[in-house]
Structure 1
Amino acid sequence: MTLKTTNIQIPLVATIITLLAIGVLVKLGFWQLDRAEEKQQLFDDYESQQTSEAKPLSSIKDLNEDQHRFTYVSVSGQFQPTPVLLLDNKILDSTVGYNVLGFFQPDSPELPVQLVNLGWLPAPTFRSDIPEVELPKGKLTLTAYVYFPSQNELTRNAFEYATDNDSVRIQEAAPKALAREFNATISSHLLLLETPENIGWQRDWEPQVMKPEKHYGYATQWFSLAVACLVIFVIAVIKLNKQSKKEEETQ
């Protein structure tokens, strides 16, 4: 079926398909631009805190992700000896390992237990081996970055308890799930440990996400495909009309 506008024939089905394809491609392009802006804001938030002085955690009211992502804070207290949480499938320099998390009890009574990420630990050769890890002892003053973990609704946060030590392997750092499992009141954020430098494990807290430049590159690809669809459609319509004109002239 074709539409005929003056002397120009336009194939109806091909037009609908082309418009739908262009619409989808353009939408994907703008989605990538939105993702690029989100990632850029994430990196900006992190960079803005690199030269900041640590704020006492107890002085921050209504701690929330919009205003306090990567805020540099200090808190005094001590780690609870158990549980030792091993956040699974963390990769550093192409090596699979765990992030070590512990419950930190602040001295300030108004603060709940803080979930602290102490850094990255390489995994043993065998999956069945859950490493034995000992958390720092005694009174400590920590400086750390506030981080709000994303929650993957498709991930089942199974708790795998080691049989010969106090370590527990987990799939995501979900404060609500941890609070239920260990019957504790836990902060809704994580603290990414910065100092003391002599405790914990290897640490690199720069956001481990796709760079904004890649999202811009993908957006360019989607927009280019949309333009290509339009060009192909226009060329096809021109050829169709030329062919129709030749057929009319031979009749």
Structure 2
Amino acid sequence: MNWKLWCLFGILFPALLGMGAWQLQRADEKKMALERFHDQIDQPPRDWMSFLNSPIDFAQVRLEGGFLDQDWLLDNQIEGGRFGYRVFTPFCLNTATHAPQDSKECVLVDRGWVAGNLDRNILPAIDRPEGNLILQGRADHISSSVILGESEPLVNSPYRVQQIEIGEVSEMAGVPLSSWILRLLPGQRGVYKQNWQPVVVGPEKHIGYAVQWFAMAIVLAGLVAWLQFKPEKAVMDS
């Protein structure tokens, strides 16, 4: 028995099966996320404070208040083959206008996508509506993004970052931010191109990836079996 071959098989085969199982799990997660999103499509908007009492992913919510005077640009966002940024701006509710600074009810708003300049020294000019605003959007959580560059010093707004961190934005804004964010709906004041989707990679792709991993596991098992028993067969034939 070729023990090196079986040791390699013992490492690779479970790993391939594990990757396939993980992709099936991701497919289930994406399927459930899409189901939650579609359940909320036709629901009327809820007041933000009532939403916080019974939060639901992707619920449509309504806020009244104003934007703070800083913007955040999430780097390396591609739309239609074009490089750009997603714009995030903190928004504080009117119900807390006269409250202490550290007790304001504020939320980070995803305002959509803007095109970038190939010259990295030139940032897009971000317009921000002032005064009292009524906004509608969908409640969501910040998702992780692929970090392709180094973090930059946070000097002047708009701040260009590789990853949106609620704690970091809260510290720079000087107000506590909800763990939820608001994905601004098209047609709202201050919105840019809103291309957000509840899932980027659909469940069917994850199922396809799972099939590939399981297929590689089967091929590996067949190859190891063939290599292990081929010499025996050769002796028998002779």
Same fold (TM over 0.5): yes
Query: Which one has the largest radius of gyration?
Result: 1
Which of 216, 220, 235 is the aligned partner of 2:211? 220
Matching residue of 2:58: 70
Any unmatched runs of 5+ in structure 1? 3-10
What is the distance in 2 between the residues matched to 1:157 and 1:112? 28
Report the identity percentage: 25
What is the distance in 1 between the residues matched to 2:183 and 2:25? 27
What is the distance in 2 between the residues matched to 1:14 and 1:200? 58
Matching residue of 2:136: 143
What is the distance in 1 between the residues matched to 2:71 and 2:219? 54
C-alpha displacement of 1:117 = 1.4
Q: Are 1:131 and 2:124 an aligned pair?
A: yes
Matching residue of 1:98: 85
- Larger strand share, 1 or 2: 1
**How many residue pairs end up in the alignment?**
231
Alpha-carbon deviations, 1:79-112, whole Å to 9, x = none?
22x1122222221111111222222121223861
TM-score (norm 2): 0.85
C-alpha displacement of 1:168 = 2.4
C-alpha displacement of 1:68 = 2.4
Which of 83, 103, 116 is the aligned partner of 2:109? 116
Any unmatched runs of 5+ in structure 2? 97-102
Cα contact 2:24–2:207 (8 A) shared by 1 = yes
What is the distance in 2 between the residues matched to 1:99 and 1:204? 10
Which of 4, 21, 40 is the aligned partner of 1:13? 4
Matches within 5 A, 1:101-250: 101-109=88-96, 112-151=105-144, 158-162=152-156, 166-194=157-185, 196-197=187-188, 199-207=190-198, 209-246=200-237
RMSD over aligned CA atoms reads: 2.6
TM-score (norm 1): 0.81
